[in-house]
Amino acid sequence: MKTIQINISEKDYQKYNFENNPMDFNDLIKKLDLVNAKNTLKESIKLAKSAGLSNLSEEEINYEIMQVRNAKNNN
């Protein structure tokens, strides 16, 4: 097994909630993926609100999905 050392800013250290303990590579990937997923979700919510999509009912969402699927199947 190899060991690497990475320099990271204090801001990013806090952003990813790192600890002073050694970390397994898979745990690092999971931690990075989790933060990136949260950021992507926040951006999606922001875009949905700005486009007026955050007010759609479940039925309206299902209808939109059905329309897209039908359009794909007809092409």
pLDDT surpassing 90 at residue 74: no
Q: What is the pLDDT of residues 21-62, one digit of tens each?
A: 889 999 999 999 999 999 999 999 999 899 888 888 899 989
- As given in the structure block, the two tokens for residue 11 are 């801001």
pLDDT surpassing 90 at residue 63: yes
Q: Check residue 21 and give its pLDDT.
A: 82
Average confidence (pLDDT) over 4-26 = 90
DSSP string, the chain: ---------HHHHHHTT--SS---HHHHHHHHHHHHHHHHHHHHHHHHHHTTGGG--HHHHHHHHHHHHHHHHT-
- The single residue listed with the structure tokens 């969402």 is 61
Q: pTM score, two decimals?
A: 0.63
